């Protein structure tokens, strides 16, 4: 269905030429997104209408994106990379703004499209997962010296697992659809995990874990990969970039990519943490970040994976209790299937937490041993 004021929005930005075609893109479920074709020989662009129900302060959102994108572009140039490919380029409107406001109050923004790249939903093997780890590790390291106090919080308590627990308990108490009686094993597991939920937030609060610039949605699909080499080129979907913990990004990547099954798998016997894939990601990630993280952060990597998985599971189950009002579903009961999948994965991670910790420590010291200690800027 055409979006109102699409043509007005497309005419508002400083494109190389007038758009000749606007193609809806299916990727993403939050913002309306289009590929702008300005004709042969001209760049292409991404045009998006921001979902202001979720992101209620578009100015702050774009301030975050523009600031970190420029920072990454500078780092890319310093390292001999291509800033136009390694960082998002924000396209201004003809009046010099970061966004266009249509007559209905809708907020639109635009980015330069990066050519010869592809977005992949799920790793088809360890090589791709390793390259995704390198890409997100590079993103974290490039922003490790960005002043975190300059960032706005676009979604408060986004990865505050204890806050997510309180939301789940509220959904359980209300039980709007009368579904709770059939979910006792899942409910019992979630409630038993409550003491774990403040692991990250407690350590941030008392200073044991520092705040960094974090992506907070570190899935493989948010990396543009080079079609020829498979290497990660640019991290996208920067709306959730905020002050956070490296454990959020590491944990989300493991939750999504190191499971032996996809998150909609209903055969729970197939759902477990693949320690081989876990090790692959740890190696790629630590090769980039080993000298900009602390010992406390390193020790927390396994808990980060477990907590991001637990958090996702209880969010799926909470939405099922609420009547499937947040996550898009394609059949009745899909959120319950997703919840059971993620809770099974979280339980398996909890059982294997010591094995995961051993892998993290072993790979860290392997990576560190191969480096010149004089180059280290971290505190480990």
What gap in Å lies between CA 285 and CA 359, rounded to an integer? 13
Grouping H, G, I as helix, E, B as strand and the rest as coil, residue 180 is helix
Does 316 score more than 70 pLDDT? yes
Q: Give the span between the Cα atoms of 14 and 199, in whole angstroms.
A: 46
Question: For residues 185-195, b (16+ Cβ closer than 10 Å) or e, as one string?
Answer: ebbebbeebee
Which of 28-42, 44-58, 60-74, 133-147 is predicted with the least confidence, judged by mean pLDDT?
A: 28-42
List Cα–Cα distances, 121 to 225, 231, 271, 372, in angstroms.
Answer: 11, 15, 18, 36
Distance (Å, whole) CA 37 – CA 19: 6
Strand pairing class (100-101; 107-112)? antiparallel
Angstrom distance (rounded) from CA 322 to CA 342: 18
Confidence class of residue 2 from pLDDT cuts 50, 70 and 90?
A: low
Residue bearing the bigger pLDDT, 121 or 312:
312
Place of tokens 């990396």: 223
Domains, the chain: 6-115 (3.30.200), 126-372 (3.90.1200.10)
User: Taking residues 208-235, what's their average pLDDT?
Assistant: 95
Q: Give percent of the chain with pLDDT exceeding 70.
A: 96
**133 close to 280: Cβ distance less than 8 angstroms:** yes
Confidence (pLDDT) at 371: 65
Tokens of 371: 């480096």
- Report the pLDDT value the prediction gives residue 30, as an integer from 0 to 100: 65
Q: Cβ of 113: how many Cβ atoms within 10 Å? A: 17
pLDDT, tens only, 186-217: 999 999 999 999 999 999 999 999 999 999 99
pLDDT in tens, 58-77: 999 999 999 999 999 999 99
- The pLDDT confidence band at residue 373, using thresholds 50, 70 and 90, is very low
Which pLDDT band, with edges at 50, 70 and 90, does 122 fall under? confident
Per-residue confidence band for 123, with pLDDT thresholds at 50, 70 and 90: confident
pLDDT tier for residue 53 given thresholds of 50, 70 and 90: confident
* Average pLDDT of the segment spanning 151-172: 96
């Amino acid at each position: 269905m055409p979006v109102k004021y699409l043509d007005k929005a497309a005419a508002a930005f400083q494109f190389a030429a007038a758009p000749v075609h606007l193609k809806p893109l299916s990727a993403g479920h939050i913002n309306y997104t289009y590929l702008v074709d300005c004709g042969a020989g001209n760049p292409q662009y991404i045009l998006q209408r921001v979902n202001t129900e979720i992101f209620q302060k578009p100015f702050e959102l774009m301030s975050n994106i523009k600031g970190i994108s420029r920072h990454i572009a500078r780092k890319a140039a310093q390292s001999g990379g291509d800033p136009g490919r390694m960082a998002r380029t924000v396209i201004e409107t003809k009046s010099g703004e970061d966004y266009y406001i249509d007559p209905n109050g809708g907020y639109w923004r635009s980015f330069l499209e990066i050519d010869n790249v592809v977005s992949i939903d799920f790793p088809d093997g360890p090589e791709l997962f390793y390259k995704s780890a390198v890409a997100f590790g590079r993103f974290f390291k490039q922003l490790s010296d960005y002043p975190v106090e300059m960032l706005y919080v676009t979604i408060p308590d986004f990865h505050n697992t204890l806050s997510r627990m309180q939301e789940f308990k509220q959904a359980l108490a209300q039980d709007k659809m009368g579904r709770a009686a059939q979910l006792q094993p899942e409910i019992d597991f979630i409630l038993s995990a409550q003491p774990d939920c403040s692991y990250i937030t407690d350590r941030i609060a008392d200073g044991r874990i520092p705040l960094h610039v974090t992506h907070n949605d570190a899935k493989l699909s948010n990396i543009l990969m080079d079609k020829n080499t498979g290497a990660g080129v640019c991290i996208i979907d920067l709306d959730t970039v905020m002050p956070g913990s490296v454990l959020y990004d590491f944990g989300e990547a493991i939750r999504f990519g190191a499971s032996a099954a996809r998150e909609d798998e209903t055969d729970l016997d197939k759902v477990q943490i693949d320690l081989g894939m876990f090790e692959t990601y740890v190696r790629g990630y630590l090769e980039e970040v080993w000298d900009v993280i602390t010992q406390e952060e390193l020790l927390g990597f396994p808990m980060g994976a477990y907590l991001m998985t637990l958090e996702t599971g209880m969010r799926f189950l909470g939405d099922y209790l609420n009547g499937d009002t947040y996550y898009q579903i394609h059949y009745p009961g899909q959120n319950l299937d997703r919840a059971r999948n993620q809770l099974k994965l979280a339980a398996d991670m909890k059982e294997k937490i010591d094995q995961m910790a051993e892998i993290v420590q072993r790979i860290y010291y392997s990576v560190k041993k191969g480096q010149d200690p004089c180059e280290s800027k971290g505190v480990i």
